Amino acid sequence: MLKNPTPKDIGLLASAAVTLLAASTLALFYFSIGRIPVWLSISLAVAFIFIVTYFITSYYLKIYIYRKIKVIYKIIRRQKMTPKEKGIDLDMSRPLLDDVAQEVEAWADVQQKELDKYRSWAEYRRRFVGDISHELKTPIFNIQGFIHTLLDGALEDPQVNRPYLERAAKNLDRLTTIVEDLEAISKYESGELVLDMQAFDLRKLAEEVFEDLEFKAARKNIKLEFKEGLGSSCRVRADRESIRHVLMNLVSNSIKYGNINGRTKIGYYDMDRQVLIEVADNGIGIPADKLKHVFDRFYRVDESRSRDQGGSGLGLAIVKHIVEAHHQTITVRSTPNLGSTFGFTLEKA
């Protein structure tokens, strides 16, 4: 018996078996004439040939074709079958070729989606590593330059040593911020950070954020205030410290990119089961073509100004992860030279 027969080999074997069967039947028919009626002899010969031909054809199909298809079929279905199903043989009465065709098509679709996802991850990782390298390179090179300059003799110069040390310390602070933000975003993405859900007063939390950023706003004479007509309290259910991080980042950005003598306002609005929180400013705004990228890692609307202002470039990406970890959404609308408004929802307490 051939181990890996071709369709031609299978045809030859099946033809030989059927020919041998027909010859044997004809011989039997010849010798039976005169002993039994002709009609009975022909009927028996036809029935015998039909039955034996059926079993011969089924045998070759099962041995040479279905055995190969069965392996492919089980491999494709392996991930979807239960342990009990894996021990069951294939049903020969079903249109197996049609089933396999459907399974192969579905399997191919799944594999293509997985491949596209892996390619997307690979591209994401490549960009992410490149972005991290780019972000870390600037403060590291600055620190290296300041320290080597001091070691080469400037350390004894009172007009140079302190300013250079202050600049090196500033770049170290930036490095620390980048590392801390990378750690935070890693925890949110991996699901390691467990939210401490509790009911609290959102207005009180916003007042605390205003107090923390009061001196930063005062440098540009920016007013921090609530929108008119709001209630004295607004209770929500969320992780208080995470939402503090969200408000700190949004208000800090509004100050950073705000105009001198400008303003930043926080508003909150009842939306049945949710509360909409908005942080609005009248700052430089964001161009329409860049709005869709503001929550991307390391994305900066104005590269030079952003780096002068400090920060890791991960703030809004972390904000988005925090809001989504609460199963809520965050949006932004902005007009250049008029200002920006960031809005996100939280569950009402």
DSSP state string for 81-111: S-HHHHTSPP-TTS-HHHHHHHHHHHHHHHH
Query: Which among 95, 90, 53 is positioned nearest to 68, based on CA atoms?
Result: 90
Q: Decide whether 125-190 matches 197-348 in CATH topology.
A: no
pTM of the model: 0.59
Residue with tokens 């003799």: 153
Residue type, 24: S
Q: What is the CATH number of domain 197-348?
A: 3.30.565.10
Average model confidence (pLDDT) across the chain: 78
197-201 and 235-239 beta bridge pairing: antiparallel
Please return the burial class of 327, using the count of CB atoms within 10 Å of its CB with bins 0-12, 13-18 and 19+: exposed
For residue 94, what are its two tokens?
A: 């079903």
Please return the burial class of 291, using the count of CB atoms within 10 Å of its CB with bins 0-12, 13-18 and 19+: middle
CA distance 145 to 329: 43
What are the boundaries of each domain within the chain? 7-94, 125-190, 197-348
Ramachandran class of 153: left when φ > 0, alpha when ψ lies in -120 to 50, beta otherwise: left
One pLDDT digit (tens) per residue for the chain, 349 residues: 555 666 566 666 666 766 776 667 666 666 665 565 666 666 666 676 677 777 777 776 666 666 666 666 666 666 554 444 444 455 555 555 566 667 777 777 888 888 888 887 777 677 767 777 777 888 888 888 888 888 888 888 888 888 888 888 888 888 887 787 777 777 777 776 778 899 999 999 999 999 999 999 999 999 999 988 777 788 999 999 999 999 999 999 899 888 899 999 999 998 888 999 999 999 888 888 888 888 877 766 655 454 555 556 778 888 998 998 899 999 999 988 889 999 999 999 8
Given 3.40.50.2300, 1.20.80.10, 3.40.50.11890, 1.10.287.130, which CATH number is that of 125-190? 1.10.287.130
Say if residues 326 and 277 touch (Cβ distance below 8 Å). no
